[in-house]
A and B are shown apart, each in its own frame.
Chain A
Amino acid sequence: MTSLPEKTERALGLVIDLDTCVGCHACVVACKGWNTEQYGAPLSDMDAYGAAPEGSFLNRIHTFEVTPDAGPVAVVHFPKSCLHCTDAPCVTVCPTGASYKRVEDGIVLVNESDCIGCGLCAWACPYGAREMDAAEGVMKKCTLCVDRIYNDNLPEEDRVPACVRTCPAGARHFGDLADPESAVSQLVAARDGMDLMPEQGTAPVNKYLPPRPKADQAPDGEIDVLAPLLEPVAEPGGFLGWLDRALGRL
Chain B
Amino acid sequence: MHPAPSIILFTTLSGLGFGLMIWMGLGFPGVTGWTAFAFAALACGLAGGGLVASTFHLRHPERALKAFSQWRSSWLSREGVLSVATLAAFAPYAAELWLYDMRLAGLGWLVAALALATVLATSMIYAQIRAVPRWHHWTTPALFVLHALAGGALLAAQTYVAALLLLALGGVQIYHWRKGDIRFREAGTTAETATGLGRMGRVRLLEPPHTGRNYLLREMVHVVGRRHAERLRLISLAAGCLLPAFLLSALPSGHLAAGIAVLLHLGGVLAGRWLFFAEAEHVVGLYYGRR
Q: Known: A114-B63, A210-B200. Is A60-B210 also a contact (CB below 8 A)?
A: yes
Question: Quick check: B207 and A116 within 8 Å, CB to CB?
Answer: no
Question: Quick check: A210 and B196 within 8 Å, CB to CB?
Answer: yes
Total residues of chain A contacting the partner, CB 8 A: 65
Question: Quick check: A123 and B1 within 8 Å, CB to CB?
Answer: yes
CA distance A239 to B191 in the complex (A): 63
CA distance A1 to B73 in the complex (A): 8
Total residues of chain B contacting the partner, CB 8 A: 59
Kindly provide the distance from the CB of A83 to the nearest chain B CB, expressed in whole angstroms.
Answer: 12
Q: Known: A61-B209, A95-B74. Is A210-B197 also a contact (CB below 8 A)?
A: yes
Name A123's contact: one of B60, B66, B131, B205 (CB within 8 Å): B131
In B116-157, the 8 Å CB interface with A consists of 125, 128-132
Q: Any chain B CB within 8 A of the CB of A128? A: yes
Closest Cβ neighbor of B71 among chain A residues? A95
Name B193's contact: one of A57, A95, A198 (CB within 8 Å): A198
Residues on B with C-beta less than 8 A from A42 are none
Most buried by B among A78, A80, A198, A211: A78
Question: Quick check: A126 and B215 within 8 Å, CB to CB?
Answer: no
Residues on B with C-beta less than 8 A from A115 are 60, 63
Question: Quick check: A67 and B201 within 8 Å, CB to CB?
Answer: yes
Name B216's contact: one of A69, A94, A122 (CB within 8 Å): A122
Q: Any chain A CB within 8 A of the CB of B70? A: yes
Q: Known: A53-B212, A116-B61. Is A125-B77 also a contact (CB below 8 A)?
A: no
In A177-215, the 8 Å CB interface with B consists of 194-201, 208, 210-211
Residues on A with C-beta less than 8 A from B16 are none
Q: Any chain B CB within 8 A of the CB of A66? A: yes
Closest Cβ neighbor of A59 among chain B residues? B209
Residues on A with C-beta less than 8 A from B131 are 89, 123-126, 200
Question: Quick check: A137 and B194 within 8 Å, CB to CB?
Answer: no
Question: Quick check: B128 and A116 within 8 Å, CB to CB?
Answer: no
CA distance A194 to B193 in the complex (A): 10
Kindly provide the distance from the CB of A5 to the nearest chain B CB, expressed in whole angstroms.
Answer: 12
Question: Quick check: A54 and B214 within 8 Å, CB to CB?
Answer: yes
Question: Quick check: A95 and B213 within 8 Å, CB to CB?
Answer: no
Q: Any chain B CB within 8 A of the CB of A168? A: no
Residues on B with C-beta less than 8 A from A123 are 1, 129, 131-132, 219-220, 282
Q: Known: A66-B202, A75-B206. Is A124-B129 also a contact (CB below 8 A)?
A: yes
Name A114's contact: one of B66, B199, B214 (CB within 8 Å): B66
Name A194's contact: one of B75, B76, B196 (CB within 8 Å): B196
Residues on A with C-beta less than 8 A from B202 are 66-68
Name A64's contact: one of B125, B130, B191, B212 (CB within 8 Å): B191
Closest Cβ neighbor of A128 among chain B residues? B284
In A71-105, the 8 Å CB interface with B consists of 73-76, 78, 80, 89, 92-98
In B63-99, the 8 Å CB interface with A consists of 63-64, 66-70, 72-77, 80
CA distance A125 to B213 in the complex (A): 19
Kindly provide the distance from the CB of A172 to the nearest chain B CB, expressed in whole angstroms.
Answer: 16
Q: Known: A92-B74, A117-B58, A123-B1. Is A197-B212 also a contact (CB below 8 A)?
A: no
Question: Quick check: B215 and A132 within 8 Å, CB to CB?
Answer: yes
20 contacts between A and B (CB under 8 A): A2-B70, A54-B213, A56-B214, A66-B202, A95-B74, A95-B80, A97-B66, A97-B69, A98-B66, A115-B63, A116-B59, A116-B60, A117-B58, A118-B58, A126-B189, A132-B215, A137-B60, A197-B283, A210-B196, A210-B199
